[in-house]
Structure 1
């Protein structure tokens, strides 16, 4: 039997070990390779939106991953979501945006859904995705979005402690308002791991584990 291959497209080198560990756990025997371009998110921030030229680069990376032998492709940055959906229509293998399985799970978990992010360019596409997945599921929801001002800048400057403190405070506040919290960025997942049990009053879903579990259940473990 030919070995299956998963191509991962990242906008940060820091996510490679996160997904590598998850793939080892849930996708044993599946070959993986990584494509990384950290200028994509920087360009989205500087230009204020996901521009057509950035979307074209995402499509080029997806096509490159297919050419490199990927049977399945996962794009691990939520800010690129709309471009990922467009790119998926142009290749012959399944392409997944990292936040779709998480959005579906959040819709199943509750009616009042909180979405939290450190970048507005991520908060908006993920919030839009949750609304569309809820509509597809035929479920009415109430969405509460929260932006952690200053957290991303702190993380980029090397101040992880400040990033974690801002995100933790936002999680505590949002937990009093919703049934489930969705983390719009994979980089926020490690903050949840450090929360006290008293802060985990509602389910908190993150994209990396849910995306890999979805791939395992839908494509690789058939």
Structure 2
């Protein structure tokens, strides 16, 4: 193990992402010191504006810059709806900085050519579809992305109706039976992996465990 404990900042735009990533750290990297910054107003603004704006992106970057100035070894974003400002941060920071789904999407590419993608937030699907297709082009691969929106799940989650959220996600995944794998876009969906796996045959990929593993390995190579 590293002589010094790695210090990791986690940036959240919804509290629903906190428990899944903390569980992943407990499973895979318990010795890391991780702490969270949460600004739910970011997601609320995206919903109000119907997407990212320059002002929202600037607010997101300021939050990440605050974390970067706290002597951290790595940073993990946990909300998928902020792709462009996350990429700005990746270019700006010298330490490993991971978008929430990078590692999971790379695993999806290794798994097959027809990739199912389940999301609960409307901004997420086109953003991650584009990210997957970009990764495929870089690898000189031809893939088919099958996006599926879990209708009403996001609203149910933030209204406190976890059961309705979970049902919507499982139902959306059932429509992707013919895919080589099914990737769950939001960290908040990770606890449903077993329930989905019981309903469909393709392997289920979740973001938190893939991201924590990738960040641990990146930081380990630097020390």
Normalised to the residue count of structure 2, the TM-score between the two structures is 0.92
Q: Once superposed, which parts of structure 1, at least 4 consecutive aligned residues long, lie more than 6 Å away?
A: none
Q: How does 1:64-83 map to 2 (within 5 A)?
A: 64-83=66-85
Quote the RMSD (CA, aligned, Å): 1.6
State the Cα deviation string for residues 14-73 of structure 1 (Å, max 9, x = none).
322322222132223221111110111111111111111111112112211110111110
The CA distance in 1 between the partners of 2:48 and 2:205, in whole Å, is: 29
Q: Deviations over 1:98-150 (max 9, x none)?
A: 10001101011010111111111111211111111111122110111111211
Shift of 1:153: 1.1
Aligned residue pairs: how many? Answer: 220
How far 1:196 sits from its partner (Å)? 5.8
What corresponds to 1:220 in structure 2? 220
| Separation of aligned partners in 1, 2:21 and 2:145 | 28
Alignment of 1:41-190 (within 5 A): 41-175=43-177, 177-190=178-191
In the alignment, structure 2 segments of 5+ residues that lack a partner are none
- 1:82 deviation in Å? 2.1
Q: Does the CA contact (< 8 Å) of 2:29 and 2:216 recur in 1?
A: yes
What is the CA–CA distance in structure 2 between the aligned matches of 1:39 and 1:188, rounded to whole Å? 20
Q: 2:197 and 2:102 mapped to 1: Cα distance?
A: 27
SS in 2 for 1:145: strand
2:220 maps to 1:209: no
| SS of corresponding position for 1:28 | coil
102-111 or 132-141, which deviates more: 132-141
- 2:26 is matched with 24
Provide the C-alpha distance between the structure 2 equivalents of 1:98 and 1:182, rounded to a whole number of angstroms: 12
Alpha-carbon distance in structure 2 between the residues aligned to 1:192 and 1:30: 24
Which structure is higher in RCO with an 8 Å CA cutoff and minimum separation 6?
2
Structure 1, 205-214 or 80-89: larger mean CA deviation? 80-89
Task: Tell whether the 8 Å contact from 1:10 to 1:34 is kept in structure 2 after alignment.
Answer: yes
Which SS does the other structure have where 2:145 is aligned?
A: strand
Per-residue Cα deviation, 1:166-191 (whole angstroms, up to 9, x for no partner): 1111111112x311111111111222
